[in-house]
Structure 1
Amino acid sequence: MTQALPSVSVIIPVYDDYKRLERCLYALEGQTYPNDRYEIIVVDNGTPEERVPDIEETFSNVRAIREETPGSYAARNAGIAAATGDVFAFTDADCLPAWDWLERGVEALERDPEIGLVGGQILLFANNEDEMTLAETWEMLDGFPQEKYVEEYNFGATANVFTRREVVEDVGPFNLEFYSGGDREWGERVAADGWKVVYAAGVRVRHPARRTLGALLRKTLRTTRGDFQRQQQHGNWSPFRRATRFAEACFRLATPVPRAAWILATASGSPATRGRYALVHTLVMATKEWELIKLLCRNHPDG
């Protein structure tokens, strides 16, 4: 009976994060999907060798490989190249997949042969929900809007994505030129090739919220640069678009108070939670807009 089920390759990049990876692997060992129908490929992306444990000895179904080219997209591509499965399931080393993650993900993908990408739900959790940091407060409310990513932008964050081998063969692997946002660029290629991109709320992983403002703002810088690069690759930065986006960024930087007031009035949660969210949202947006201004100036065609 299990032979009728597609074989699955779970692909997990990791860089010097083996403590959290072990929790992820324990979650994957207890899956409802038949044990003989999936493999787990862990791709180390440059962790110093003395800090790399022998996970193949500890966990069944795990194959550990190494990719020296830095970046999670290079690691995922190495995992794809090593994979033997019909289905590729992507998650991250710090994620905790639900016990039925593989079963639900394969079911969602197999509902329609035209489905090429399933983006599952990413549930954020804090280290201590009674004493959340400012960064955790923001991430818990706005960290991974996977349904929006799928339905509005045709991609899924690779913390929770399922796809078919034939899809990767059709559209190619992740683009290594991208600093960030390669999951979006790849999803756009999948949709452009005629495959359906769908969201599946029942396909769940838990993901830790970033605890510090530094980590949150570094993510903001990374994603802003990746989005700029993607737009640049698509030829979307015409002189008019550059000028209007520059003016918009300047306006947003100059008028933070009305935006914060709007958040305080409309966001959910207690007044204290709304206030914390408004503060962090203002910092995140200011970081994003200031970085975009610098990118627009630095990459000006006449500059």
Structure 2
Amino acid sequence: MKLSVIIPTFRDWQRLSLCLHALEQQSWSKNDFEVIVANNDPADHAPDDLCNDLTIQVQVIEAHQKGSYAARNAGAAIASGQILCFTDADCVPSVDWLTNIARHFAESDSCQLLLSGDVVMFSEHHPDYQYNFAESYDFFFGISQKDYAARQVACTANLSMHREVFDSVGGYDGRLFSGGDVEFCSRAVKAGALFQFDQSCFVKHPLRHTFKSLLVKSRRVIGARIQRQGYIKSIGTLMPPLYRIVKIAQVDTVPWGLRLKGMASTFVIKAAQISEYVSLLLKLKKAENR
């Protein structure tokens, strides 16, 4: 069984290097998978030594159309594997990630399998539960694959599928800059894909540790939501973040200090979302596409 690991990247070579070295350590045979890196900023060339000490098969291609989903499509277009495994440049796959993925596909009777794996959030800068304000917010609302799986959707930080699933629905919507993974999963399941979630197929993902990075993501999400749903259906953006405050308060497995930081940060993010919504509504700016 041949697996193709597809990784979009945008000016993040240092973290990509960590991801590639984690793939180098996979328990799955190096001969049975390839790695395709889709560089979404062709003007920013890959470092010459990116693959110097790697023995896995890595190919770096240029993805000229803006957006990570367009980059994923570019990578999938040249992939040779029967199974497409998507992750992100800032993710660190567990050592048995590909082995566990391959086991699922080998055991499945379906040729339309869509497999979601877990995403474990961690801080690159602080011990567990001693996060700063930005990290505290991302801890609660960054990526929750288990919650997504209940809706039969997943983020592309950890999503694998039969090649047939990808091809049958025409891949990701390359026009989107956020939410394209959820939109893809919804189309695929509607078309007959068998959705599964496995916690053992996990990757680690760093918490965003600055408000700048959180705000870029929040603005991008709002723009994509308006693009998909329109302004009227996105009007909830203007509502107070009461649901999120209650959700944080109910997480009684973490210290109150962390929860209070998350609550405070929620108001900062909400203010940025409202500002973005109003700015786009009044045509004061274009939608965020970073």
Cα distance, 1:14 vs. partner? Answer: 1.4
The residue number in structure 2 matching 1:124 is 121
Distance of 1:55 and 1:77 partners within structure 2: 22
C-alpha contact 2:140 2:248 (8 A) present in aligned 1: no
Distance of 2:161 and 2:41 partners within structure 1: 26
C-alpha contact 2:111 2:162 (8 A) present in aligned 1: no
Match of 2:96 among 84, 95, 100: 100
Distance 1:163 1:265, change over 3 A: closer
Gaps of 5+ in 1: 1-5, 299-303
Distance 1:114 1:227, change over 3 A: farther
Distance of 1:141 and 1:30 partners within structure 2: 30
Distance of 1:86 and 1:144 partners within structure 2: 27
C-alpha contact 2:117 2:198 (8 A) present in aligned 1: yes
Cα distance, 1:174 vs. partner? Answer: 1.2
C-alpha contact 1:263 1:274 (8 A) present in aligned 2: no
Q: Is residue 7 of structure 1 aligned with residue 6 of structure 2?
A: no
C-alpha contact 2:3 2:83 (8 A) present in aligned 1: yes
Q: Is residue 52 of structure 1 aligned with residue 47 of structure 2?
A: yes
Q: Is residue 148 of structure 1 aligned with residue 147 of structure 2?
A: yes
Distance of 2:173 and 2:153 partners within structure 1: 14
Distance of 1:99 and 1:265 partners within structure 2: 34
* 1:1-303 paired onto structure 2 within 5 Å: 6-49=1-44, 52-60=47-55, 61-112=57-108, 113=110, 115-130=112-127, 131-152=130-151, 154-232=152-230, 242=232, 246=235, 248-250=236-238, 252-253=239-240, 262=246, 265-268=249-252, 269-292=254-277, 295=280
CA deviations on 1:27-48 (whole Å, 9 max, x unpaired) are 1011111121111111212253
CA deviations on 1:161-212 (whole Å, 9 max, x unpaired) are 1011111121111111112111111111101101122211111000110011
Cα distance, 1:55 vs. partner? Answer: 3.2
**Secondary structure of the corresponding residue to residue 12 of structure 1:** strand
Distance 1:36 1:229, change over 3 A: same
Distance of 2:270 and 2:92 partners within structure 1: 29
Distance 1:50 1:173, change over 3 A: closer
Distance of 1:50 and 1:83 partners within structure 2: 21
Q: Give the counterpart letter for 1:119 in structure 2.
A: S
Gaps of 5+ in 2: 284-290
Give the TM-score normalised by the residue count of structure 1.
0.83
Q: Give the counterpart letter for 1:168 in structure 2.
A: F
Cα distance, 1:16 vs. partner? Answer: 1.9
C-alpha contact 1:95 1:205 (8 A) present in aligned 2: yes
C-alpha contact 1:106 1:162 (8 A) present in aligned 2: no
Q: Which of the two has higher C-alpha Rg?
A: 1
Cα distance, 1:94 vs. partner? Answer: 0.9
How many residues in Structure 1 have an aligned counterpart in Structure 2?
Answer: 279
Distance 1:85 1:221, change over 3 A: same
C-alpha contact 2:112 2:192 (8 A) present in aligned 1: no
Distance 1:263 1:50, change over 3 A: closer
Cα distance, 1:115 vs. partner? Answer: 4.7
Which segment drifts farther, 94-103 or 128-137?
128-137
**Secondary structure of the corresponding residue to residue 201 of structure 1:** strand
Cα distance, 1:108 vs. partner? Answer: 2.6
Cα distance, 1:17 vs. partner? Answer: 1.3
CA deviations on 1:29-84 (whole Å, 9 max, x unpaired) are 11111121111111212253555324344322111211222221121111111100
CA deviations on 1:106-130 (whole Å, 9 max, x unpaired) are 2234443155311110111112334
